[in-house]
Chains A and B, each alone.
Chain A
Amino acid sequence: MALDQNEVLAGLAEIVNEETGIAAEKVQMDKSFTDDLDIDSISMMTIVVNAEDKFGVKIPDEEVKNLITVGDAVNFIVNA
């Protein structure tokens, strides 16, 4: 069963909050991980691994660089 977009966004926001302290409500679909949320490459990888665990999906290393916005990540997870 496909994951619900809103649920994935909420779950991802929780992970981002745990890793970086950024308020969950600031984690919105159109936000860029680096430019808007100031998340560096190492924090990004921690978020990716925690998202894999939480949603039961696999996000390959080569895919991570394509996840520019929160929406990119949410859509990848929903469609994985």
Chain B
Amino acid sequence: MSHPTLNQYTPVKFSRIYALGAARGDLTVTNDDIAGPIDSSDEWIRQRTGIITRRRASADRSLMDMAVEASTEAIKKAGIDPKEIGAVLFSTITHPHQTPSAAALLADKVGANPAPAYDISAACAGYCYGIAQADALVRSGMAKYVLVVGGEKLSDFIDPTDRTISFLLGDGAGAAIVGPSETPGISPTVWGSDGSHWDAVGMTASLIEFRDGAASWPTLRQEGQTVFRWAVWEMAKVAKAALEAAGIEAADLSALVTHQANIRIIDELAKQLKLPESVVVARDIVYTGNTSAASVPLAMHALLESGEVKSGGLALEIGFGAGLAFGAQVVVLP
């Protein structure tokens, strides 16, 4: 049976990140501020995590406030009309509603209504998942511009007495505008998950258990050693695969921007990659803390703002965390 030929999207050849935006919690929380309940000290926390302060948001600064601030900066710097945004992807694990999505509200607040909008649940890998999807949406022709946000208000889900992860965590949002490009700006993404370690990082309980009185308010926790081994030695393989997929060598990089999990993961991962000294390693964790999905764009934004790296250079960005989920790609710095 014959039928008329269907239209399909007209692909564009390349994509790139146009601009980034960043917003952090308004409070600077020192190690001394949080050391008491975990029977610790400033020195102990610095030595084990590299963190000197972490940024947290006060009660009247919401996840959405930070996401709107970061997105508005990215849209403005990209020089685009928010009406041209063809999709809004919001990576977060701390949006306080099961539904509707944070992305739909964000789209409306930044002037991108009626763009398709959805949240991504890939924890600390979420931003890199978002960039992967944005790259695909733009190159397929499905969207002209995509707003990708990684944002968290982790301080709503921490236990001050937890020694596994809570003391690392901070709040913030990072945003990127991805759009069409004359030249390649985002390499193939190496991404995946390993659900056999589903319980290595996550929540202490489900919301159903909390409702039924079987558990207290769910907070984050991790099996530190398991996560450390995976984050360094497995992610070193992923990072090398991403470089190979991009067709470049480590020496071609201007920067390594890893998820800001812990300075010792960052340093050991950099060591495993045998990076030349010319490659700047992002260490935004020192004053921001671990902000999960927000950490990669916040760290990249900080490197660009400080002038440590220049627009046009190459950066390997890699996110990894609960799931266990991971994603890595090489991007041209906006």
Q: Which chain A positions have C-beta within 8 A of B47?
A: 40
At the interface, yes or no: A61 with Cβ under 8 Å from chain B? yes
One of A24-32, A43-51, A68-76 at the interface: A43-51
Once A46-B268, A49-B233 are accepted as A-B contacts, the answer to whether A40 and B48 lie under 8 Å apart by CB is: yes
In the assembled complex, the CB of B180 is this many whole angstroms from the nearest CB of chain A, namely 43
- Interface code A46-78, partner B: CB below 8 Å = 1, 0 otherwise? 101100000000000100110000000000000
In the assembled complex, the CB of B331 is this many whole angstroms from the nearest CB of chain A, namely 29
B48-A42 in contact (CB<8A)? yes
Give the A-B pair count, Cβ closer than 8 A.
27
- Interface code A3-24, partner B: CB below 8 Å = 1, 0 otherwise? 0000000000000000000000
At the interface, yes or no: B144 with Cβ under 8 Å from chain A? no
Q: Majority SS of interface residues in chain B? A: helix
At the interface, yes or no: B228 with Cβ under 8 Å from chain A? yes
Q: Which chain A positions have C-beta within 8 A of B225?
A: 41-42, 44-45, 61, 64-65
B261-280: which have CB < 8 Å to A?
262, 264, 268
Q: Majority SS of interface residues in chain A? A: helix
Which chain A residue has the least Cβ–Cβ distance from B225? A45
Partner of B229, one of A40, A45, A65: A45
Task: Please classify how large the interface on chain A is, using the bins under 10, 10 to 19, 20 to 34, 35 or more.
Answer: 10 to 19
Q: Which chain B positions have C-beta within 8 A of A45?
A: 225, 228-229
Q: Which chain B positions have C-beta within 8 A of A44?
A: 225
**Residue of A42, A49, A61, A64 with highest tally of chain B CB at under 10 A:** A42
A residues lining the B interface (CB < 8 Å): 40-42, 44-46, 48-49, 61, 64-65
Q: A44-B225, A61-B225, A61-B226 are in contact. List 5 more A-B contacts (CB 8 A).
A: A40-B47, A41-B228, A46-B232, A46-B268, A65-B225
B residues lining the A interface (CB < 8 Å): 47-48, 223-226, 228-229, 232-233, 262, 264, 268
A-B contact pairs, 6 of them (CB 8 A): A41-B224, A44-B225, A45-B225, A49-B229, A49-B233, A61-B223
